[in-house]
């Protein structure tokens, strides 16, 4: 197995480990975060029904005007507040935080803290 394949295997293992732990210990919807090198996106997912209840991303045209001139961490914080607002509009008050394979720091932490400040409980 070459280095790139090994990296994918480790990435998938971390993701599945995090998600299986969340599913075992909670029945709440999960706030799933995806972080790429340039953008970040978040979804509130109800695993029982398999549906996305709310979503937000830095590539959306609705948020484009507010994201101009901001750093990636500032964009993540704005996105956290937006996903909390959309989740509350969908009737979700509490979620579990699914960071996927990413560590809880930097942009992921900024998104989570902004969502907490906007009233989402996790």
- The domain tally of the chain equals 1
Compute the mean pLDDT over every residue in the chain, rounded to the nearest whole number: 96
Domain of residue 22 covers: 3-117
Buried b / exposed e along 83-112 (16+ C-beta atoms within 10 A): bbbbbeeeebeebbbbbebbeeeebbbbbb
Instruction: Give domain status of residue 94, yes or no.
Output: yes
What integer pLDDT is reported at residue 109 of this predicted model? 98
What integer pLDDT is reported at residue 66 of this predicted model? 95
Instruction: Give domain status of residue 9, yes or no.
Output: yes
For residue range 26-83, list pLDDT tens digits in order. Answer: 899 999 999 999 999 999 999 999 999 999 999 999 999 999 999 999 999 999 999 9
CATH number for the domain harbouring residue 96:
3.30.420.100
Instruction: Give domain status of residue 39, yes or no.
Output: yes
Instruction: Give domain status of residue 13, yes or no.
Output: yes
Instruction: Give domain status of residue 122, yes or no.
Output: no
pTM of the model: 0.91
């Amino acid at each position: 197995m070459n280095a790139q394949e090994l990296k994918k295997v480790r990435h998938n293992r971390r993701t599945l480990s995090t998600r299986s732990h969340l599913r075992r210990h909670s029945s709440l919807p999960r706030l799933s975060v995806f972080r790429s090198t340039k953008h970040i996106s978040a979804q509130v997912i109800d695993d029982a029904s398999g549906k996305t209840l709310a979503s937000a991303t830095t590539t959306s045209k609705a948020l484009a005007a507010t994201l101009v001139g901001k750093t990636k961490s500032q964009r993540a914080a704005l996105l956290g507040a937006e996903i909390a607002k959309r989740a509350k509009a969908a009737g979700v008050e509490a979620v579990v935080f699914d960071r996927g394979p990413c560590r809880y720091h930097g942009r992921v932490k900024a998104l989570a803290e902004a969502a907490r400040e906007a009233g989402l409980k996790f």
